[in-house]
Structure 1
Amino acid sequence: MHALIVSGLAVIVVWSLFSRVLERLRIAGPLAVIVLGALSGLLFGEDLGEHLDTDVAEKVVEIVLAVLLFVDATEVRRGFLGGEGRIVARLLSIGLPGALILTSLACMLLLPGTPWAVILVLACIITPTDFAASAGMLRDTRIPSRVRHSLNVESGYNDGLVSPLFIFALAVAEGQEAQGIGPALESALWASLIAVLVGAIVGGATGVMMQVAHRKNWLTAQSLRIGIVMIPLLVYVLAIQFNGNGFVAAFVAGIAFRSGRLEHRRSDSSLDHAEMSAVDDLGFLSSLGVWFVFGAVIILAAETGVNWVLIALGVLALTVLRVVPVHAALWGSALRWRERTAIGLAGPRGTASVVFGLLAFNALREDYANLALYLTIVVVLGSVVFHGVIAPRMIVALTHDASAAPATTADKN
Structure 2
Amino acid sequence: MPFPNLMAASSSTGDSTLLLFALVLLLSVLVSQFANRSVLSTAVVFLVAGFICGPGVTGALRLSPDQPIVSGFIELALFSVLYTDGMRVGIRDLTSAWKLPGRALLFGLPLTLVAVGVVAKFLLGLSWTEAAVIGAVLSPTDPVFAAAIVGREEVPYRLRHLLNVESGLNDGLALPLVLIALGIAGKAELELATMLTELGVGVAIGVVVPWIAIRLESTRVFASSEPYRPLLGFAIGLTVLALTRMFHANEFLAAFAAGMTIATKDEKLRERFHELGELLAELFKLAALLIFGALIDPSYFGEIGLTGWTFVFLTLVLARPLAMLVSFAGTDLTKREWVAAAWFGPKGFASVFFAFLVLQHHLDHGVWIFHLLAVTVGTSIIAHSSTDVIVARWFDEEEAQ
Q: TM-score, normalised by structure 2?
A: 0.83
Q: Which residue among 212, 222, 225 is the counterpart of 1:219? A: 225
Q: Which residue among 252, 264, 267 is the counterpart of 1:259? A: 264
User: Which residues of 2 match residues 327-366 of structure 1 at below 5 A?
Assistant: 327-364=325-362
Change in 2 beyond 3 A, CA 1:347/1:240 = farther
Q: What residue is the counterpart of 2:133 in the other structure? A: 121
Q: Which residue among 372, 376, 381 is the counterpart of 2:373? A: 376
Change in 2 beyond 3 A, CA 1:210/1:141 = farther
Q: Which residue among 148, 168, 171 is the counterpart of 1:136? A: 148
User: Which residues of 2 match residues 128-207 of structure 1 at below 5 A?
Assistant: 128-178=140-190, 184=192, 194-207=201-214
- The amino acid of 1:341's aligned partner reads V
Q: Which residue among 18, 21, 26 is the counterpart of 1:13? A: 26
Q: Which residue among 235, 240, 243 is the counterpart of 1:230? A: 235
- The amino acid of 2:84's aligned partner reads V
User: Which residues of 2 match residues 236-275 of structure 1 at below 5 A?
Assistant: 236-239=241-244, 245-262=250-267, 271-272=271-272, 275=273
State whether residues 86 and 169 of structure 2, in contact with CA within 8 Å, keep that contact through their aligned partners in structure 1: no
| Greater mean deviation of Cα atoms: 320-329 or 232-241 | 232-241
> What CA distance in whole angstroms lies between the structure 2 residues aligned with 1:60 and 1:144?
36
State whether residues 54 and 362 of structure 1, in contact with CA within 8 Å, keep that contact through their aligned partners in structure 2: no
Change in 2 beyond 3 A, CA 1:229/1:198 = same
Change in 2 beyond 3 A, CA 1:207/1:300 = farther
> What CA distance in whole angstroms lies between the structure 1 residues aligned with 2:200 and 2:332?
31
| Greater mean deviation of Cα atoms: 7-16 or 139-148 | 7-16
> What CA distance in whole angstroms lies between the structure 1 residues aligned with 2:136 and 2:106?
15
1:210 Cα deviation after fit: 4.3
> What CA distance in whole angstroms lies between the structure 2 residues aligned with 1:341 and 1:399?
15
The answer to whether residue 305 in structure 2 is matched with residue 307 in structure 1 is yes
| Greater mean deviation of Cα atoms: 351-360 or 291-300 | 291-300
- The amino acid of 1:14's aligned partner reads L
- 3-state SS, counterpart of residue 64 of structure 1: helix
1:174 Cα deviation after fit: 2.5
Unaligned runs of 5+ in 1: 406-413
> What CA distance in whole angstroms lies between the structure 2 residues aligned with 1:205 and 1:120?
39
Change in 2 beyond 3 A, CA 1:290/1:46 = closer
State whether residues 68 and 283 of structure 1, in contact with CA within 8 Å, keep that contact through their aligned partners in structure 2: yes
1:296 Cα deviation after fit: 1.1
State whether residues 210 and 262 of structure 2, in contact with CA within 8 Å, keep that contact through their aligned partners in structure 1: yes
Q: How many residues align?
A: 386
Unaligned runs of 5+ in 2: 1-8
> What CA distance in whole angstroms lies between the structure 2 residues aligned with 1:399 and 1:206?
43
Change in 2 beyond 3 A, CA 1:167/1:23 = same
- 3-state SS, counterpart of residue 299 of structure 1: coil
- 3-state SS, counterpart of residue 341 of structure 2: helix
- 3-state SS, counterpart of residue 130 of structure 2: helix
Change in 2 beyond 3 A, CA 1:64/1:133 = same
> What CA distance in whole angstroms lies between the structure 1 residues aligned with 2:84 and 2:206?
13
1:208 Cα deviation after fit: 4.9
1:303 Cα deviation after fit: 7.3
- The amino acid of 1:388's aligned partner reads S
Deviations 1:169-201 (A, max 9, x none): 22233212347xxxx4x8777666555443333
- 3-state SS, counterpart of residue 311 of structure 1: helix
Q: Which residue among 59, 73, 83 is the counterpart of 1:60? A: 73
1:271 Cα deviation after fit: 1.3
> What CA distance in whole angstroms lies between the structure 1 residues aligned with 2:159 and 2:245?
32
1:241 Cα deviation after fit: 5.7
> What CA distance in whole angstroms lies between the structure 2 residues aligned with 1:136 and 1:291?
19
Q: What residue is the counterpart of 1:319 in the other structure? A: 317
The answer to whether residue 107 in structure 2 is matched with residue 94 in structure 1 is yes
State whether residues 73 and 254 of structure 1, in contact with CA within 8 Å, keep that contact through their aligned partners in structure 2: yes
Q: What residue is the counterpart of 1:408 in the other structure? A: none
> What CA distance in whole angstroms lies between the structure 2 residues aligned with 1:372 and 1:212?
52
> What CA distance in whole angstroms lies between the structure 1 residues aligned with 2:92 and 2:212?
16
| Greater mean deviation of Cα atoms: 351-360 or 23-32 | 23-32
> What CA distance in whole angstroms lies between the structure 2 residues aligned with 1:65 and 1:277?
18
Change in 2 beyond 3 A, CA 1:172/1:259 = closer
The root-mean-square deviation of aligned C-alpha atoms, in Å, is: 3.3
- The amino acid of 2:186's aligned partner reads E
- The amino acid of 1:230's aligned partner reads A
Q: What residue is the counterpart of 1:48 in the other structure? A: 63
